[in-house]
Chain A
């Protein structure tokens, strides 16, 4: 190879070499399309049709089904049968739904409160897609009343417990080096547990997404991208060369963000359940959430116990950690979207994993001065067990 500066003709040649496989690919695809499978018999016996029921909305005398076409080709929605009755319906924007397109099927149907409904939507190829309304109740709409109750839910399960947990700050400041180390490890344990919880929740919803959405892949992207982004941000800050105290404060804020994202996911699910009406939020359940989430407040303050964090930054961290539960409850209660829930939960999982990793680095740094491996082990295990045991109240 000669080491000449690329000339005009050289760069053209590079371009051509880049484009050649693309041209060939287009040729192969063309061959496949025009010869109807290039020798393969790819025509299915019956058209492959799948439909995802994304939401069901009930108003007095009206049932709306939000359906998405997950099949390889357009689908025509031809007839609807609800509880053994053929029922007239309209579909907007159209009865013909393009691939990955959405349609809202509206039935003017005299549904009654607390009854159950089985609905079959038939495509023009006589393929039935079935869904059910286990307990019919009017869908919550964004009135002042419902917004207030969703706000209250978020306050009870997010903001209040996190702030309560942070009230241990003065008491924990009295801890010695070993106690602090234990607390840091405990926080890492808490975060790992929350991350596992969020990831498994995300995977569970992801399993229900239609095939083309590749739910598990979506979870992977959410977790890994969030982890890498937070990691990159931290490394840049270290590079800037700030004081260790400032770095610990940043870490505390990051823990708050991670926990906040986790609470956002939790709020989504609670809001969605609450809006169904079927799941009236039991007192016992709310108490359970408060007990479990109080440990999250503890985790946020752990890195800054050595320092004199200002009241405003503590309050700020508390709100960052807890308030997303309110936003989550609003969104979950008023407009639940599965793909969105998967993404939020995955981001939450990635964030808490990364923050746990940051704490691990901090522990590593302190351990250089004075190693306490059993304290770390005990802390992490205790953190995970703490969430496990408080979880027994609500699981």
Chain B
């Protein structure tokens, strides 16, 4: 931290020059000074209430025994999901299989309409953030198809900037969504046979890339293997995100599926013994690494989901930007179990959630 008043000299007060000393007094008076009595007499009197309770605690002799358990990061209240037009609880499992038809060749065609739009979203109570969205939500729709299908995405750009949809996976260069910039009001049709099976993602690829991604133009893209995966009781999509509120190229808050603390406030309900499959992707901009830690449990991890044999049995994994993988686990005991980034800073800035396991 940068210490403008040079207060680190606290251990060596004799080194304080008088000027520094007085400056310190004034600078720190901003930082720390004041009194309950005078504050209580001043127009600032409303502060007397918390102050009084703090002091009552002291009078009872517990100088450091203030209820730390009640002190949890987060915020009070909830965002207006209806006004936002999307709810992270729904985003967990609203897989979009598209409009399905069969091509003359017999191949399955899945068709999607995607519209890029600027949308003011309530990210946290009271905080209005101007997000760039695919279909009015962040993350964008979770496209889901099966190996061997054809997908066709009719993309329309309804914003004032050029955008694209760049899919990860194997496809022709002119379907890669990099050089075919879609200008404001423009349209583009992405059509290809997606491969390989696994968990993939898509995002805008217009430069400056960091801004276009960080603003919300991203989503998950699942290609199921032909033979399918073992039937799970729950399948959840979790896109790890961060938001730079004040545009200083640093994330201010973090989340799974965009709204900080959402699954902390609205735990994900499952039952003991149920197979849970999580499609986890990291689209975090600005920070190099994100992570996922599951409490009181271990999971099988399938990196990128491109193999049916798990690569690891663990309780914590790390992902750099665009890395993704599939997690499978069952809970043995009922209870409330946290899951969060094991970069605790991210966790306390919103990337934290709870599985509520019922017997």
A residues in contact (CB < 8 Å) with B = 53-62, 64, 66, 76-79, 81, 84-88, 90, 92-93, 95, 102, 104, 106, 108-110, 114, 116, 118, 120, 122, 124-128, 131-137, 139-142, 201, 204-205, 208, 266, 268-285, 288-289, 332-336, 338, 341, 391, 394-395
> Do A135 and B7 have beta carbons less than 8 Å apart?
yes
> Do A332 and B29 have beta carbons less than 8 Å apart?
yes
* Residues B1-36 near A (CB distance < 8 A): 1, 3, 5, 7-8, 10, 13-14, 16-19, 21-36
- Residue in A closest to B16 when the chains form the complex, CB atoms: A279
- Residue B66 lies at the interface, judged by CB distance under 8 Å to chain A: yes
> Do B126 and A79 have beta carbons less than 8 Å apart?
yes
Within the complex, what minimum Cβ distance (angstroms) separates A320 from chain B? 23
Please measure, in the bound complex, the distance between the C-alpha atom of A54 and the C-alpha atom of B68, giving whole angstroms.
Answer: 27
Please measure, in the bound complex, the distance between the C-alpha atom of A48 and the C-alpha atom of B78, giving whole angstroms.
Answer: 27
> Do B44 and A104 have beta carbons less than 8 Å apart?
yes
Residues of B within 8 A of A272 (CB): 25-26, 28-29, 33
Please measure, in the bound complex, the distance between the C-alpha atom of A140 and the C-alpha atom of B39, giving whole angstroms.
Answer: 12
Residue of A84, A87, A118, A131 with most partner-chain B CB within 10 A: A84
Q: Which of A58, A133, A141 is within 8 Å of B37, CB to CB?
A: A141
Residues of B within 8 A of A66 (CB): 34, 44, 47
> Do B16 and A60 have beta carbons less than 8 Å apart?
no
Residues of A within 8 A of B51 (CB): 57, 59, 62, 64
Residues of A within 8 A of B126 (CB): 76-79, 95, 124
Residue of B26, B66, B74 with most partner-chain A CB within 10 A: B26
Whether A108 touches B129, Cβ cut-off 8 Å, given contacts A273-B21, A335-B34, A335-B38, is: no
Please measure, in the bound complex, the distance between the C-alpha atom of A269 and the C-alpha atom of B29, giving whole angstroms.
Answer: 9
Whether A134 touches B5, Cβ cut-off 8 Å, given contacts A104-B44, A269-B26, is: yes
Residue of B24, B27, B31, B43 with most partner-chain A CB within 10 A: B31
Q: Which of A62, A88, A266, A271 is within 8 Å of B54, CB to CB?
A: A62
- Residue B349 lies at the interface, judged by CB distance under 8 Å to chain A: yes
Q: Which of B14, B44, B129 is within 8 Å of A285, CB to CB?
A: B14
**In the complex, how many residues of chain B place their beta carbon closer than 8 angstroms to a beta carbon of chain A?**
71
> Do A55 and B21 have beta carbons less than 8 Å apart?
no
> Do B34 and A55 have beta carbons less than 8 Å apart?
yes
> Do B28 and A61 have beta carbons less than 8 Å apart?
no
Whether A57 touches B38, Cβ cut-off 8 Å, given contacts A78-B127, A79-B127, A127-B246, is: no
- Residue B261 lies at the interface, judged by CB distance under 8 Å to chain A: yes
Within the complex, what minimum Cβ distance (angstroms) separates A333 from chain B? 7
Please measure, in the bound complex, the distance between the C-alpha atom of A106 and the C-alpha atom of B54, giving whole angstroms.
Answer: 12
> Do A335 and B39 have beta carbons less than 8 Å apart?
yes
- Residue in A closest to B254 when the chains form the complex, CB atoms: A86
Please measure, in the bound complex, the distance between the C-alpha atom of A77 and the C-alpha atom of B117, giving whole angstroms.
Answer: 27
A-B contact count (CB 8 A): 257
Residues of B within 8 A of A84 (CB): 345, 348-349
> Do A135 and B75 have beta carbons less than 8 Å apart?
no
Please measure, in the bound complex, the distance between the C-alpha atom of A90 and the C-alpha atom of B17, giving whole angstroms.
Answer: 38
0/1 per residue, B28-65, Cβ < 8 Å to A? Answer: 11111111111100111011011100110110000110
> Do A141 and B36 have beta carbons less than 8 Å apart?
yes
Whether A93 touches B3, Cβ cut-off 8 Å, given contacts A285-B14, A285-B21, A333-B33, is: no
Q: Which of A86, A273, A277 is within 8 Å of B349, CB to CB?
A: A86
- Residue B174 lies at the interface, judged by CB distance under 8 Å to chain A: no
Residues of B within 8 A of A114 (CB): 10
> Do A53 and B30 have beta carbons less than 8 Å apart?
yes
**23 A-B pairs, CB-CB below 8 angstroms?**
A54-B30, A60-B64, A60-B66, A79-B125, A84-B348, A86-B73, A110-B66, A122-B127, A122-B246, A126-B246, A128-B246, A134-B8, A137-B32, A142-B37, A269-B21, A269-B22, A269-B26, A270-B25, A271-B25, A275-B32, A276-B32, A279-B16, A285-B18
Please measure, in the bound complex, the distance between the C-alpha atom of A60 and the C-alpha atom of B21, giving whole angstroms.
Answer: 26
- Residue in A closest to B73 when the chains form the complex, CB atoms: A85
> Do B57 and A141 have beta carbons less than 8 Å apart?
no
> Do A201 and B22 have beta carbons less than 8 Å apart?
yes
Q: Which of B31, B39, B50, B261 is within 8 Å of A276, CB to CB?
A: B31
Residues of A within 8 A of B128 (CB): 124-126
- Residue B70 lies at the interface, judged by CB distance under 8 Å to chain A: yes
* Residues B323-339 near A (CB distance < 8 A): none
Please measure, in the bound complex, the distance between the C-alpha atom of A318 and the C-alpha atom of B319, giving whole angstroms.
Answer: 72
Please measure, in the bound complex, the distance between the C-alpha atom of A125 and the C-alpha atom of B25, giving whole angstroms.
Answer: 33
- Residue B245 lies at the interface, judged by CB distance under 8 Å to chain A: yes
- Residue B76 lies at the interface, judged by CB distance under 8 Å to chain A: yes
Within the complex, what minimum Cβ distance (angstroms) separates A111 from chain B? 10
Within the complex, what minimum Cβ distance (angstroms) separates B290 from chain A? 15
SS of A interface (majority): mixed
> Do B73 and A55 have beta carbons less than 8 Å apart?
no
> Do B22 and A131 have beta carbons less than 8 Å apart?
no
Residues of A within 8 A of B71 (CB): 61, 108-110
Within the complex, what minimum Cβ distance (angstroms) separates B138 from chain A? 15
Please measure, in the bound complex, the distance between the C-alpha atom of A106 and the C-alpha atom of B73, giving whole angstroms.
Answer: 14
Please measure, in the bound complex, the distance between the C-alpha atom of A109 and the C-alpha atom of B30, giving whole angstroms.
Answer: 19
> Do B348 and A86 have beta carbons less than 8 Å apart?
yes
- Residue B109 lies at the interface, judged by CB distance under 8 Å to chain A: no
Q: Which of B39, B49, B129 is within 8 Å of A57, CB to CB?
A: B39
> Do B38 and A276 have beta carbons less than 8 Å apart?
no
> Do B35 and A141 have beta carbons less than 8 Å apart?
yes
- Residue B350 lies at the interface, judged by CB distance under 8 Å to chain A: yes
> Do A78 and B124 have beta carbons less than 8 Å apart?
yes
- Residue B242 lies at the interface, judged by CB distance under 8 Å to chain A: no
> Do B348 and A85 have beta carbons less than 8 Å apart?
yes
> Do B46 and A93 have beta carbons less than 8 Å apart?
yes
Residue of B30, B32, B47 with most partner-chain A CB within 10 A: B32
Q: Which of A86, A110, A205 is within 8 Å of B26, CB to CB?
A: A205
Residues of A within 8 A of B23 (CB): 204
> Do B35 and A140 have beta carbons less than 8 Å apart?
yes
Residues of B within 8 A of A335 (CB): 33-35, 38-39, 42
Within the complex, what minimum Cβ distance (angstroms) separates A112 from chain B? 9
> Do B24 and A273 have beta carbons less than 8 Å apart?
yes
Whether A395 touches B33, Cβ cut-off 8 Å, given contacts A84-B345, A126-B245, A280-B13, is: no
Please measure, in the bound complex, the distance between the C-alpha atom of A346 and the C-alpha atom of B55, giving whole angstroms.
Answer: 37
Please measure, in the bound complex, the distance between the C-alpha atom of A126 and the C-alpha atom of B73, giving whole angstroms.
Answer: 19
Whether A55 touches B47, Cβ cut-off 8 Å, given contacts A78-B127, A276-B25, A391-B18, is: no
> Do B125 and A60 have beta carbons less than 8 Å apart?
no
Please measure, in the bound complex, the distance between the C-alpha atom of A88 and the C-alpha atom of B309, giving whole angstroms.
Answer: 43
- Residue B274 lies at the interface, judged by CB distance under 8 Å to chain A: no
Whether A142 touches B7, Cβ cut-off 8 Å, given contacts A128-B245, A271-B25, A336-B33, is: no
- Residue in B closest to A52 when the chains form the complex, CB atoms: B30
> Do B124 and A79 have beta carbons less than 8 Å apart?
yes
> Do A60 and B54 have beta carbons less than 8 Å apart?
yes
Within the complex, what minimum Cβ distance (angstroms) separates B21 from chain A? 6
- Residue B260 lies at the interface, judged by CB distance under 8 Å to chain A: yes
- Residue B96 lies at the interface, judged by CB distance under 8 Å to chain A: no
Within the complex, what minimum Cβ distance (angstroms) separates B28 from chain A? 4
